[in-house]
Structure 1
Amino acid sequence: DNIKKGRPIMCDTGFEEGQHNKHLRHGTQPESAPSITGMPQLHPFWSAGFSFSRGHFVVNVPYDFYQPLIFQGEEISIAVRGFSIGYDFYAPEKSVCFHHYAEGKNSEN
């Protein structure tokens, strides 16, 4: 089966250097078997790559009108604004979709 057994938790943030400036980027803890089972787990960050919610989230926390076409930084912006008005973010019990970022010698087999 292709479903990973670990739970991805975004719980690390650091500065990633770009060409012209630095920006904050979320990172994950190494995936392991979840210590909380049978339910989603609260975690501190919002992920653009895996986000599901009721429609009112997008109405109440729209993309920032002052940062059109933002890519690096969108997750920080939405997480801070969503959390500040009462939204919480959760990770599912196990990974149900994923992709590899690395290619060649850095990729997983």
Structure 2
Amino acid sequence: MFRRTTGFYILSIVGKFIAERTEALESNRKGELDLGGRDMLWQFFEIQANDTSLPKWCVTAWAFSNAIPGSYFTAVILRSVWHTLLSYPVTLDRLREELRAAEENNPKGFSKPFP
């Protein structure tokens, strides 16, 4: 009857990344996580390390609050696209034609990456 909200799924993904990064930091294996530089999660850990008054959960809260808006705006954009396509069948037909043409022009098939 009650579905889990998407926030729990996103929180589990955030938790997984934080756990991996925490393990790497604790075992001093930063080199194994080649990120091509510092990312936001590294910066969150640095802020927490430099300010001992911050609670342990702050890194999770910061990372989660950065992930949620992305999923929200993606949903808004997709809803707008579908609403527009369904409101203008001519545009939907043109999109279908373009997708068919792209599939025909890609020898690997449309579901495969383009060369």
User: Hey, which of these two has a bigger chunk of strand by percent?
Assistant: 1
By relative contact order (CA 8 Å, sep 6+), the higher-ranking structure is: 1
TM over 0.5: no
Structure number, greater radius of gyration: 2
Which bin holds the TM-score, normalised by the shorter protein?
A: under 0.3
TM-score if structure 2 supplies the norm length?
A: 0.26
User: Hey, which of these two has a bigger chunk of helix by percent?
Assistant: 2
